[in-house]
Amino acid sequence: RQLYESDDNKDCLADEGCRFAVGLTLLCLTPLLICWNEHQFVRLENLYNAARRVVRDISSSTTPSKTIDGEFVCINGRLQGETTLYDNLFPMVKVDNALLLFREIEILQYVQIQKKDNYRLEEQWCRTPQVDPSHFKDKKNVNGNWALFSDPNQIVSTGRTLNGAPIEFGDNLKTFRANNPFVGAFRIPDALMDEIFQGERHVHRLGELELIRASQGKLEAYKPGRFQNMQSQELVMEGVYGCHVGRRDHSFVYDGNEETIGTIRMKWHYVKPQDITVAAEAVSPGRPSAMEYGSISRNIHEPNAMREMIWNDLETGFSAGKGGDGNKMALLPESERCTTCDHWTVTPYAVMGQTGCLPPYGEEFLGHLWLYAPDSIASWDLFNRAFRASARCLWKVRGLSYILLFFGWCLVFEPISNIFRGTLLQSLLSLTFAVFAFVLATTCCVSWTALSRITARPIQSILIIATVWAVTLEIVHLLPNDD
C-alpha cells in the first residue's frame, strides 16, 4: 500500500510540475502575442488614416482626367465585362454572362492520424493528393487505386483506367476569366478580381483576413440543372460532382459505385456582374504599373524601389533584391511582373505617412494598399468598414490573450492549493487563487496592451499603466481585510 501511495504521489508531482511549466510558458509567450496584435493594428490604423486623408472620390461613368493619374481614388459602380465562360476540361460546364468561373477539385484519400503511439487511417477529401504514402505505418492498400505521373500537381488516373485527363489540385483554383472586367472607365486587374472573390485563398495575413471576409464579392454555385448531356443527372447534387475522370477526350465517367479512395469531387462557382467599390491608385493608359502585385504583402518597401522595379521590368526583365542580401537578385514569375494596359486601370497605392508621435515629424512609406467592398458606397464608408474589420480582429486576439493569461495564472497557482487536496481549505484556496488569476490576468493584459502602444500614444499608455496597477494593488490590499 505504501508503494502504491508513493507511486501516486510521484505521478501527482510530475503532473503538477507539467501544469506549472505550461502556466509559466503561457505567461511568457502571451505578451509576445499581445505586442504583435497591437503592432499590427497600429500599423493598419496608420495606413488607413494616411490613405483616407488623400483619397479622392471620382465618378466611374465619365472618362477620367489625366490629372488623377497616380492619385488614390475611390470608384464605385457596376462591375461588368461579362461573357460566356466554359470549363475547357469539362465543356458541359457553361455559364452565360459571367466574369469569373472557378473549378475546385478534391480527391478522397486516406490520411494518417496519429495520437501518441496509435496510428489510424481516415478517409478525407483533400485538395492535394498524397503523392507518397510510404511513410504510413499501415501500407496495405493505401491510396492504391489511383496513380500519379511525374508532376505531383497533376493527377492523371483514378485507377479505373490508365488513360487520364490532367486535373489541377492545390489551394489555387482553376480560374476562367472574362477578358476585360471593368467599373466604368477603369479595368479591374486579375489580382484584384481574385482578392475580391477568393481573397481568403490568396491572402493569409491575420490582420487582413477579417477585412477580406467582410469585403468579399458575391459568388454563386453552379447548379446541376445547367448541366447538359449528363446521363445521370440525379447523381449530381448541389454543385458537388462525384465523378471519375479517365478518358482522353476529357469527358465524365461515372460508374455508379459508392465513393471509394481515389474518387474525384468537383465544385464550380461563378461571378456575375454586381456593384462594387474600389479604392486604389489610378493608372492612365500605357503607364507601367505593378497591378499584379496584390495588396500590402509584397517585400518592396520604398516607392523609389517600386518605380525602379517597374522600369527594369520593361527594359531588361524583372529583378529585385529579396531578403537581407542586397547583392542577391531574384527573378519573379511572369505573372508577378509589372504590366501596362491600354485602358485606365488601378494598382495598389504607395501610402506615405507621418513618422513619430512628437515633433519634428517626418514622412515614411507605410505600405501598398487597395480597398474594396460590395455595393456602391462612398470612400468614408469604405474606410469605416476597414476600421471596423481591423477592430474586430484586434478584439478577438485580445480576448484570446486574456484567456491564455488567465489559464496561465491558474496553472501557476494550482500546485499551492493541491497541497491541501481533499480538504475544505483546498476549495477556499482554489476560489481565492481564481480571483487572483482574474485580477492579475486583467492587469497584465491591459498593461502589455498599453506598453505595446507607448511609442504611438506615450501619455495615454503611461496613464493607463499607472491607473491599472494602482487599482490592482488596492484590490490586493483589500482582499485580506475581507477574509
Tell me the mean pLDDT in the region 215-219: 76
Note the pLDDT of residue 252.
38
Mean pLDDT for 190-195 is 83
User: Per residue in 312-328, is it b (16+ CB within 10 Å) or e — as a string?
Assistant: ebeeeebebeeeeeeee
12/414 Cα distance (integer angstroms) = 12
Higher pLDDT, 238 or 182: 182
**Residue of higher predicted confidence among 184 and 263:** 184
Give the Å distances, CA to CA, from 288 to 189, 191, 282, 320. Answer: 13, 16, 12, 16
Q: Which of 110-119, 140-149, 286-295, 441-450 bottoms out in mean pLDDT, i.e. has the lowest? A: 140-149
Whether 449 shows a pLDDT value over 80: the answer reads: yes
Average pLDDT score over residue span 281-289: 83
Concatenated DSSP letters of 189-245 = PHHHHHHHHHHHHH---HHHHHHHHHH----EEPPGGG--S-S-GGG-BTTBEEEEE
Alpha helices, H only, 230-369: 303-316
User: Is 0.75 topped by the overall pTM?
Assistant: no
Q: How far is CA 388 from CA 95, 198, 211, 215, in A?
A: 35, 21, 8, 12
The model's confidence at residue 310, banded by pLDDT at 50, 70 and 90, is very low
What are the tens digits of pLDDT across the range 39-58? 888 888 888 999 999 999 99
Look at residue 11 in the predicted model and tell me its pLDDT.
58
Burial class (CB in 10 A: 0-12, 13-18, 19+), 389: buried
Point out which residues pair with 124 in neighbouring strands: 109
Q: What is the pLDDT of residue 482?
A: 45
Indicate the pLDDT class of residue 134, thresholds 50, 70 and 90.
low
Stretch among 57-71, 116-130, 161-175 having the lowest mean pLDDT:
161-175
Do 236 and 419 contact (CB within 8 A), yes or no? no
> What does the pLDDT read at residue 157?
34
pLDDT at 147 over 50: no
Long-range contacts of range 49-55, CB-CB < 8 Å, 24 or more positions apart? 49/353, 50/351, 50/352, 50/353, 50/354, 50/366, 51/279, 51/349, 51/351, 51/369, 51/371, 51/383, 52/379, 52/380, 52/383, 55/279, 55/379, 55/383
Considering 85-94, 141-150, 255-264, 415-424, the range whose residues carry the highest mean pLDDT is 85-94
Q: Count Cα neighbours of 65 within 13 Å in the Cβ-side half-sphere.
A: 6
Q: CB–CB of 58/436 below 8 Å?
A: no
Structure confidence by residue, pLDDT tens digits, 326-342? 333 334 444 444 566 78
- Quickly tell me which residue has 449530381 as its cell: 236
Determine the 3-state secondary structure of 138 from DSSP.
coil
Alpha-carbon span 69 to 285, nearest angstrom? 9
Q: Shortest CA distance to 287 belongs to which of 346, 336, 350? A: 346
- CA distances 441 to 32, 69, 107, 272, 407, Å, are 15, 51, 46, 49, 9
Output the pLDDT for position 32: 93
- Tell me the β-bridge partners of 353: 364
Using DSSP bridges, classify how beta strands 241-245 and 349-355 pair: parallel, antiparallel or unpaired: unpaired
- Give the pLDDT confidence of 358-414 residue by residue, as tens digits: 555 667 888 888 888 888 999 999 999 989 888 888 899 999 999 999 999 988 888
Q: Which of 105-109, 118-122, 159-163, 465-469 has the highest mean pLDDT?
A: 465-469
Q: What is the mean pLDDT of residues 137-145?
A: 50
**Between the ranges 4-13, 161-170, 422-431, where is the mean pLDDT highest?**
422-431
**Model confidence pLDDT, tens digit, residues 239-252:** 333 344 433 333 33
Q: Please tell me the predicted confidence (pLDDT) of residue 233.
A: 31
What is the residue extent of each domain of the chain?
2-41+385-482, 73-79+276-376, 82-272
Q: Identify the pLDDT of residue 194.
A: 81
- Grouping H, G, I as helix, E, B as strand and the rest as coil, residue 394 is helix
pLDDT value at residue 317: 37
For the chain, give the percent of residues with pLDDT over 90. 14
Q: Which 8-state DSSP code applies to residue 418?
A: G
- Residue range 452-481, pLDDT digits in tens: 888 778 888 888 888 888 888 877 777 555
pLDDT at 93 over 70: yes
Q: Which of 183-197, 276-290, 418-432 has the lowest mean pLDDT?
A: 418-432
C-alpha cell at 458: 506615450
For residue 81, what pLDDT is reported? 87
Query: How confident is the model at residue 195, as a pLDDT?
Result: 81
* Mean pLDDT calculated for residue range 283-287: 84
> Which among 433, 377, 396, 432 has a CA at the least distance from the CA of 74?
377
Q: Which residue has the cell 480576448?
A: 399
Average pLDDT across the chain, whole number: 70
Euclidean distance between the first and the last CA atom of the chain, given in angstroms as a whole number: 39
Quick one: pLDDT band at residue 159, thresholds 50, 70, 90?
Answer: very low
Count of residues making up the chain: 483
Contact 447, 441 (CB under 8 A): no
C-alpha 126/C-alpha 134 separation (Å) is: 18
Alpha helix stretches (DSSP H) within 229-329: 303-316
Task: Specify the pLDDT at position 4.
Answer: 47
Q: pLDDT band at 269, cuts 50/70/90?
A: confident
In eight-state DSSP terms, residue 343 is: S
Q: Which residues of 76-86 are buried (b: 16+ CB within 10 A; e: fewer)?
A: bbebbbbeebe
How many helices, marked H, and strands, marked E, lie in the chain?
7, 23
